[in-house]
């Protein structure tokens, strides 16, 4: 069995993230989504909330794509390479929306390989989601804008709650 990790901040998960996980699951037997802290980002949702939203998104998507039921989700407590070693993952799979993402990801990929030998596989992000970023989603919700077509069900409500906004319709 080949295990890979799809790591990320997932603060919150977007449809772009989900697309990358879905595509990883068509190629590898065992895909683990690793929800981790990025020290360069401030973070709105706590890690367990992020992981819960990823699990809910996968459970819902698995109704149409049963392969997604095999995907598991875990919080990465420390270094990604330690987590990969612990679960026996041979590679990290990351989506790239464009050159900016590559510039950010390449040093991490090289450092992870330096630290442990774990390889990183980059998947080109689907063009439908090239503009979708968790940071933009949060900013839009903060200002009362619509994001329901950018994120899985339940994410908007979780962001509104974290921002201290009233639930929609109340
Ligand atoms: O979604 P992001 O913010 O691009 O994901 C980056 C993330 C969380 C995968 C990265 O910051 C990470 O691996 N954090 C865990 C701690 C770690 O291993 N740091 C060293 C990276 S070389």
Tens digits of per-residue pLDDT, 49-97? Answer: 999 999 999 999 999 999 999 999 999 999 999 999 999 999 999 999 9
Q: How far apart are CA 5 and CA 28, in angstroms?
A: 10
Judge if the beta carbon of residue 112 lies within 6 A of ligand 1: yes
Per-residue pLDDT band at 167 (split at 50, 70, 90):
confident
Q: Give the mean model confidence (pLDDT) for residues 89-116.
A: 98
- Which residue's CA is the nearest one to ligand 1's atom 22? 108
Exactly one of 22, 23, 50, 97 is catalytic; which is it? 97
Known catalytic membership, residue 37? no
Q: Name the token pair of 38.
A: 């990025």
Is the model's pTM score more than 0.85? yes
Please state at what angle helix 47-61 crosses helix 15-27, rounded to 10 degrees: 60
Q: Give the mean model confidence (pLDDT) for residues 12-40.
A: 97
Give me the pLDDT at residue 122, please: 98
Question: CB count, 10 Å around CB of 141?
Answer: 23
Known catalytic membership, residue 143? no
């Amino acid at each position: 069995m080949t295990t890979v990790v799809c790591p990320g901040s997932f603060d919150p998960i977007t449809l772009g993230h989900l697309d990358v996980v879905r595509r990883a699951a068509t190629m590898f037997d065992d895909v683990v989504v690793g929800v981790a802290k990025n020290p360069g980002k401030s973070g709105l949702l706590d890690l367990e909330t992020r992981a819960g939203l990823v699990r809910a998104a996968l459970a819902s998507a698995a109704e149409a794509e049963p392969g997604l039921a095999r995907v598991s989700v875990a919080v990465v407590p420390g270094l990604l390479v330690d987590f990969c070693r612990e679960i026996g993952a041979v590679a990290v799979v990351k989506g790239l929306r464009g050159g900016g993402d590559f510039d950010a990801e390449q040093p991490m990929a090289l450092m992870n390989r330096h630290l442990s030998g774990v390889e990183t596989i980059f998947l080109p992000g689907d063009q439908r989601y090239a503009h979708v970023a968790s940071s933009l989603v949060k900013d839009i919700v903060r200002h009362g804008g619509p994001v329901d077509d950018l994120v899985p069900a339940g994410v908007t409500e979780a962001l509104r709650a974290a921002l201290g906004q009233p639930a929609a319709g109340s």
